[in-house]
Structure 1
Amino acid sequence: MIKNYLKKLIPKQLLYFIFDIKNKGKSTEYIFTEIYDKGYWGKAKDGKKYYSGTGTSDAKTNLYVNFLIDFIKESNIKTVFEIGCGDFTIMKKVLDETNSNYVGADVVKKLIVDLKEQNQKETTQFICMDAIKDELPNGELCVIRQVLQHLNNHQISLILEKTKKFKYVIITEHLPLNPIIKNGDKNMGGYIRLQNKKTSGVYLTENPFNLATKTVLSYQSDDIGFEGKIIPAIMRTSLIKN
């Protein structure tokens, strides 16, 4: 009880940092299962068992939903694969308005079991996998939304290399407007580069990734940094054509 009270007094971003240090060297599955089990990203207001944080519930996510619906329709996308589907809040809205076949992947087994029970059907499938280590299924479009920001640079590079098999890749990242350093490395875990002392982010066009991308959506999305201060930031969605 005292331990829980003390946790409430510690800034969320500092807690993330402590957890990431503690979990250094642990498996992807272990780290992200712990995040969901202990509710590090918060709890859903609608009573859902699993919650992927404000990144899936913010009202501004409708801008992304509408963009993706239009892109899938205009590009006549028939198959979509998502890395890090999380609680499926975002893509459920997209799929309700499109006719694409969808496969959502996440490393948290209990989350995938729940998604299968609640949402799986002939055109919507869920698989448990580690995109860092496992082979990705085929598809026309690969979607990665606010996932890479939780990984280290080497892990990001491994995933990006695998996505070259898709015709289109759409990646969304939370980026500071005034980064101290671009692509500053971090341990895999719950917090993101924007929230650490380096005030960084995942910049796909910069070293060590050096990808050709097109910004297709960007909007203001400030966050709280390591010291509890507001960090001016944007949510940027980039398109890669292979």
Structure 2
Amino acid sequence: MTKKLKKPWPTKAVMTQIYDMKLWGGSTFDFYSGTGSHDPKITNPYLQAVRSFLTSHNHNLVVCDLGCGDFNIGNQLVSLTKKYIAIDIVDALIERNKKRYKHNNLEFQCLDISKDALPQADCLILRQVLQHVSNAEIKEIVKQLNRYKYIILTEHLPLGTFTPNKDIISGQGIRLKKNSGVVLTAPPFHLKIKDEKIMDEHVLEANKGRIVTTLFCLH
């Protein structure tokens, strides 16, 4: 039985509990990172856009994937990179991924991305990760982002006008119920970028918002 934690839960503990209790679904899976990582309507256009970007750089980019989850997505991108560093905060998940996925240019690491030093790379992938994280932790992550030339950021955002970056407690939920979503270039994060481009946008059914993937060029 999973131990009940007192709030606010440490992020590592709550993310571990989410997988243990299968709060993102996938009852038949050992680990499951949610429909956003498995629904072809969402994943196929995303993969097409990211594959095109990586191919345009002649498969020569070192990519760091922050919050790689069950690696259903990352596994389909590894071959298009010079090196792929996949990171997650859940120890058991990383150990499982190490056993399941084998590529000469693939490395898994277990890190808390709001506290630990991030690896050097050309391109950073942050796919539906920050939407689950508190503003205080996002601020710590942003402090390290300037070392990367490219960031491919995917966030679940409301439809229409919304107030960015309302705070939440790190966990299963996201900011959508507050009519908010993460916008790194807005206060209180103020990420400095050179250019940005929307790579993919998927509108969900039943007014459940949209999943937007943006390419940031930082320098």
Q: Distance in 2 between matches of 1:82 and 1:24?
A: 28
Letter in 1 for 2:132: H
- Per-residue CA deviation, residues 10-35 of structure 1 (Å, 9 max, x unaligned), is xxxxxxxxx9xx65332221010000
Secondary structure (helix, strand or coil) at the match of 2:73 reads helix
Q: Which residue of 2 aligns with 1:208?
A: 188
More divergent stretch after superposition (165-174 vs 177-186): 177-186
**Identity level (%):** 35
What stretches of structure 1 of length at least 5 have no aligned partner?
Answer: 1-18, 224-229
2:198 aligned with 1:241: no
| Count of paired positions | 211
Q: Which residue of 1 aligns with 2:107?
A: 125
**Partner letter of residue 94 of structure 1?**
L
- Give 1:52 shift: 0.2
Q: Residue 132 of structure 2: which of 150, 155, 159 is its match?
A: 150
What is the letter of the counterpart of residue 27 of structure 1? P
In the TM superposition, residue 232 of structure 1 has moved relative to its aligned partner by: 4.7
1:65-80 equivalences under 5 Å are 65-76=47-58, 77-80=60-63
> Is the Cα contact below 8 Å between 1:140 and 1:167 reproduced in 2?
yes
Query: Given the two structures, how large is their TM-score scaled by the length of structure 1?
Result: 0.81
CA distance in 1, matches of 2:48, 2:113: 26
Contact 1:120 1:126 in 2 (8 A): no
Superposition deviation, residue 183 in structure 1? 1.2
Structure 1 segments, 4+ long, off by >6 Å, are: none
Give secondary structure in 1 for the equivalent of 2:84.
Answer: strand
Q: Does 1:51 align with 2:27?
A: no
Q: 1:217, 1:238 within 8 Å by CA — same for their partners in 2? A: yes
Q: Give yes or no for contact 2:70–2:93 (8 Å, CA) kept in 1.
A: yes
- The DSSP-based 3-state class of the residue aligned with 2:144 is helix
Structure 2 counterparts to residues 71-110 of structure 1, below 5 A: 71-76=53-58, 77-96=60-79, 98-110=80-92
Deviation at 1:209, TM superposition (A): 2.0
Does structure 1 conserve the Cα–Cα contact (< 8 Å) formed by 2:84 and 2:105? Answer: yes
Measured against aligned partners, the alpha-carbon deviations of 1:125-169 in whole angstroms (never above 9, x if no partner) come to 111110000000111111000000000112112112212111111
User: Residue type of the partner of 2:187?
Assistant: N
Aligned counterparts of 2:86 and 2:131: Cα–Cα separation in 1: 18
- Structure 2 residue 40 is the aligned partner of structure 1 residue 64: no
Pairing 1:143-182 to 2, within 5 Å after superposition: 143-182=125-164
Q: CA deviation at 1:50?
A: 0.5
Answer whether contact 1:168 1:241 (CA < 8 A) is retained: yes
Once the 2 structures are TM-superposed, how far is the Cα of residue 95 of structure 1 from its aligned partner? 2.1
SS of equivalent to 2:32: coil
**Residues of 2 paired with 1:121 and 1:232: CA distance?**
36
Does 2:97 align with 1:115? yes
Root-mean-square deviation (CA), in Å? 1.9
Partner residue, 1:31 = 14
Whether the 8 Å CA contact 1:24–1:188 is kept in 2: the answer is no
The equivalent of 1:186 in structure 2 is 168
